[in-house]
Amino acid sequence: MSRGFKRVLTVVMVLVVGLSAAFFLGLQMKLREFSKEIRSIDIQSIDLSKVADGEYTGEYYVNESVGAAVNVSVENHRITGIEFIEHKYGKGKKAEGITNNVIRAQSLQVDTISGATGSSTIILKAIENALLKAN
């Protein structure tokens, strides 16, 4: 191999390693920011005795890639249904099962879905926002 070729190869390798490191550091930073925002979300208790019958729409988005919009149906002061208008979830699709837990418990104070904590919290916040419109 010529000396010039070795130099070019070395420069290319340094660039690949540097760009890879920058990519992973940036990704790690975004994940930390996302986790921090999720931990800062407070899910309120909703007094369903004050919620009139009807359909209520609520949403909550962390960013353009992660969020949820839902329709919540209430009848006789009970949550009877929760439908997704939109759910941008990254890897959190299984969090959609939390709606069954909310209906069963008639409360937003339910455990998040393991492995989908962020998406679960976002869905709960969207439901809360819908029910807050009823008051």
Tell me the pTM.
0.78
- pLDDT at residue number 99: 96
**Residue whose entry in the numeric block shows the structure tokens 């359909």:** 55
Q: How far is CA 78 from CA 46, 57, 58, 92, 127, in A?
A: 11, 16, 17, 27, 13
Q: Which CATH number fits domain 48-132: 3.20.80.10, 1.10.357.10, 3.90.1010.20, 1.50.10.20?
A: 3.90.1010.20
Q: How far is CA 97 from CA 27, 81, 85, 102, 119, in A?
A: 27, 12, 15, 9, 11
pLDDT band at 128 (very low <50, low <70, confident <90, very high): very high
- Tokens of residue 129, six digits: 């926002």
- pLDDT at residue number 26: 55
For 41, residues 6+ apart whose C-beta sits below 8 A from its C-beta are 60, 121, 122, 125
Quick: pLDDT tens for 41-71.
999 999 999 999 999 999 999 888 889 999 9
What's the rounded Cα separation, in Å, for the pair 77 and 97? 22
Eight-state DSSP code of residue 121? H
pLDDT band at 2 (very low <50, low <70, confident <90, very high): confident
Quick: pLDDT tens for 97-122.
999 999 999 999 999 998 888 999 99
Q: CB count, 10 Å around CB of 54? A: 11
Q: Delimit the domains of the chain by residue range.
A: 48-132
What's the rounded Cα separation, in Å, for the pair 2 and 20? 27
**Three-class secondary structure of residue 47 per DSSP:** coil
